[in-house]
Structure 1
């Protein structure tokens, strides 16, 4: 028997997870980003008014590509940009932020309810309607 073989037989195995091998736990649901919800609210309001991106961007004096990136949650807009976009849509900054706050409360409440209900045996499913909207169905 070679010295390498005898060393491998004497090696200890140190378990990194208590209780042996277990299935990896699913990551907790990720909370939505503020910029995603702001973009969702701006886009849904613009579409509800049947207005084009160009129309709203021109009225808000924001470049159309920049407003598009804000709507898609790719840019974190300043309060001045958000106020201008809100005004172009006929909203105050407070109304825009209130709608976003309502969405974040709804989304985080639904994502925290789903795991709790799953542990009680109630079958649930969470489906994403948009970056900021979630539907919970039993």
Structure 2
């Protein structure tokens, strides 16, 4: 039986809590719980970072300014800049408008972003076999699909 009330949310930390500083003033490295998995050496990029990189790369390849693309997409120039820098999560409508302003379809934008994500993601060769059948990776470690959830 759970000790939590039915309508209460629980917060489960994804990272171990840092230990409080020592009272004697000495600096100690944070203690990792025994048996805890090691943190990956390289983190996977966030989706908004990858999409922003694609938007900026396409805009620069076309030698267009932020102002020009923002006006064509009917979004503000500061907002487009924040999208390109990965500071904002864009709605599908905004992404579609930005893609159209660059002469792309939404599918084209997402496909380019998926390619960038697959290139920059840490290799899962060896771990990938456990994920085959669940639609995440192939035995070679490459991504074989894309799923977005909001």
- Same fold by TM (over 0.5)? yes
Equivalent residue for 2:51?
A: 38
Quote the Cα distance in structure 2 between the aligned partners of 1:82 and 1:49. 18
Give the direction of change, closer, same or farther, for the CA distance of 1:17–1:32 in structure 2 (3 Å limit).
closer
SS at match of 2:43: coil
RMSD between aligned alpha carbons? 2.2
How far does residue 106 in structure 1 lie from its aligned partner after superposition? 1.1
Question: Equivalent of 2:62, from 43, 46, 49?
Answer: 49
* RCO comparison, higher one (Cα < 8 Å, 6+): 1
How far does residue 89 in structure 1 lie from its aligned partner after superposition? 0.1
Quote the Cα distance in structure 2 between the aligned partners of 1:92 and 1:74. 22
Q: Which has the larger radius of gyration?
A: 1
Relative to total residues, which structure has the larger strand share, 1 or 2?
1
Quote the Cα distance in structure 2 between the aligned partners of 1:104 and 1:26. 19
How far does residue 27 in structure 1 lie from its aligned partner after superposition? 4.5
Equivalent residue for 1:88?
A: 101
Quote the Cα distance in structure 2 between the aligned partners of 1:42 and 1:26. 30
TM superposition outliers: structure 1 runs of 4+ over 4 Å: none
TM-score by length of 2: 0.56
Deviation string 1:10-44 (CA, Å, 9 cap, x unpaired) is: xxxxxx887xxxxxx77431100000000000000
- The alignment covers a number of residue pairs equal to 92
Quote the Cα distance in structure 1 between the aligned partners of 2:100 and 2:60. 15
Quote the Cα distance in structure 2 between the aligned partners of 1:78 and 1:45. 19
Structure 1 unaligned segments of length 5 or more: list them: 1-15, 19-24, 114-138
